[in-house]
Amino acid sequence: MSEMCDLQIHINGQHTFFLSEMVLSKYSGKLRKIIKQEKRRTQIRSSGIDIDDFPGGAAAFELVSRFCYNNGTIPITVSNVSLLHCCAVFLGMSEKASRSNLLQQTEKFLEGIFYWSWNDILTSLKSSELFFDYADSCGLIEKLMCSLLAKIAQNSDVNSLSVSSSSSSSSPETARSLGLNSPRKSWAWWFQDLTILSPRTIEQFLKQLGSFGSDNSNLVLTRFLLQYLKTALQHSNGGSIRHHVSTADYGGLADTAVHGVVLMGKTAFSCRGLFSVLKLVASFGISRESRGALERMIGGMLDQAKLDDLLVCGGANANGGVCVYDVNFVVRLIRLFVLHYDKMCLEKVKKVGELIDLYLGEIGPDPALKISKFLAVAESLPDSARDSFDQVYRAIDVYLQAHPSLSLEERSRLCRCLNYEKLSLEACKDLAKNPRIPPRIAIQALASQGSNIEPVDGDGGVNSGKNHQMVLYKNDESSHNYETESSVEDKEEMKVNLERMQWRVVELEKVCREMKGQMARMVKLAPQHNRPLPRLC
């Protein structure tokens, strides 16, 4: 028995086979040559022969060994023909070594490749992925791809897309046009089937069609890629694909899909569809250029967007907090929209204004959202985009409730995005009573409501002798008789609120004056060498 196992072969540094030198040399020209080149046979027996990068690894070498020990016969199927063919090429198992050797048998089996079924081709392609580089170098991948494209052509009703010259030269079948631009969905029958293949195989598929990368100009291939990427993301349990495979595996396919989407433009994709595409391909680490191109398209169609489209998950901010939504993304879209502002009708601009006001209300409760980010969204549109700033005020109030520790200066800064003249009377009344709004902001807002209101003399006011108070009435006296009871009540309530806010300011000024007087007396009594007291008001 020891004579039958006189040769040790180490495969890919992981497995060792003890075999007969005579049996393997009969079929493998490469092994025969290695053995003859060895000067010291004892060294071969002790250390064996190392074979690295063997296609298919130990399982493949075991199949080859079975072939050799079974007098050159082994069942060949669509599942193992690719593996056996690559092993035969690697080990030089040709007619020079033995008649009807493994290489000849696999080549004969592959001659009928264009008569295989669709599933047979997919099975063989899938099995080749474990040794893709070697299968590609010996031309096997190209043969399988040509057969695959021929099957697609045979089952498509419309001629629209021709394969590349490299593939058409390999087989007459692949020179036929592929019906990939059919207005019907007959071309989509193969989409789901191809999702079982690896990204590298799909990349080769696109290259055979001359539609990889920036060369992609076909809508059907673009839709297929989007479905392929979506399926890959679903198989990753809904998480980011980068946690399961290298982004480099899918990055080229994602960029290819984006190029096709951008090229087709608004004619093939709605605004919501573009948002879906961006969310999908962003999980695969697309290039900055691809993302920028998609965002430019979306920005130009922002008036068609819905609130849900903008609610994209955010990330960590500069202080380490995690934002609920990606506000920077929305700001970029608004700025891209504003670039087209002069070319758009006012109706579209106002639609975006309504959308952004809703968005402000959604992001307001986020405790990690900085004031600068909130203002960046609120101030990114011109005033003409809003007929009313009531929604902006409500969003500010929500933000203030979620950030109770803001200073007076920060709260005042937050309110700078309000256009007081475009606040309704009800909003101004609420603002005046809101303890979270700085007093001076409330007075400015109430005063803006009096742009058409003038002070009256002592006979028409309440406490008119006070210089720091003012009583207001409508300028248009002719309409006074037609005022409803509710409008009179509103005016009186606004007047009371204004007086209340003015009294708050007067009281603060009075306290400040008293403190100034006390400080002045202290300065007179203090020695000259004492340092000056700080200014309080």
Tens place of pLDDT per residue across the chain (537 aa):
344 677 889 998 889 999 888 899 999 999 988 888 764 555 555 567 889 999 999 999 999 999 999 999 999 999 999 999 999 999 999 999 888 899 999 999 999 999 999 999 999 999 999 999 999 999 999 999 999 999 998 887 544 444 433 333 333 333 333 444 444 455 688 999 999 999 999 999 999 999 999 999 999 999 999 999 999 988 876 444 444 455 678 999 999 999 999 998 878 899 999 999 999 999 898 999 999 999 999 999 999 999 999 999 876 555 556 678 999 999 999 999 998 776 668 889 999 999 999 999 999 999 999 999 999 999 999 998 999 999 999 999 999 999 999 999 999 999 999 999 999 989 998 998 999 999 999 888 888 876 534 443 334 343 433 343 333 333 444 434 434 444 556 656 666 666 666 665 565 556 556 655 655 665 566 555 444 444 443
pLDDT the model gives residue 503: 64
**pLDDT at residue 321, as a whole number:** 60
Describe the crossing of helices 199-208 and 140-154 by its angle, rounded to 10 degrees: 70
Q: What is the predicted pLDDT for the residue at 178? A: 44
Q: Is 68 helix (H, G, I), strand (E, B) or coil?
A: helix
- Cβ–Cβ < 8 Å for 441, 415: yes
> Which residues are paired to 454 by β-bridges?
473
Q: Looking at residue 183, what is its pLDDT?
A: 42
Fill in the DSSP letter of residue 177. P
CA neighbor of 307 nearest in space, from 391, 419, 211, 214? 391
CA–CA distance from 164 to each of 168, 175, 204, 229, 274 (Å)?
6, 8, 12, 24, 29
276 CB-near residues (< 8 Å, 6+ apart): none
Q: Which of 116, 114, 53, 61 is nearest to 83 (CA)?
A: 61
Contact by Cβ (8 Å): 145, 124: no
* Cα maximum dimension of the chain: 129
* Rounded Cα distance, 125 and 116, in Å: 12
Contact call for residues 54 and 14 (beta carbons, < 8 A): no
Give pLDDT, residue 268.
Answer: 87
d(CA 234, CA 227): 10
Closest by Cα among 242, 260, 243 to 251? 242
What local confidence, expressed as pLDDT, does residue 342 receive?
Answer: 66
Query: DSSP H helical segments within 236-370, as ranges?
Result: 247-264, 271-281, 288-300, 307-310, 327-339, 346-363
Beta strand 7-11 with 49-51: parallel, antiparallel or unpaired? parallel
Residue 2 is predicted with a pLDDT of 44
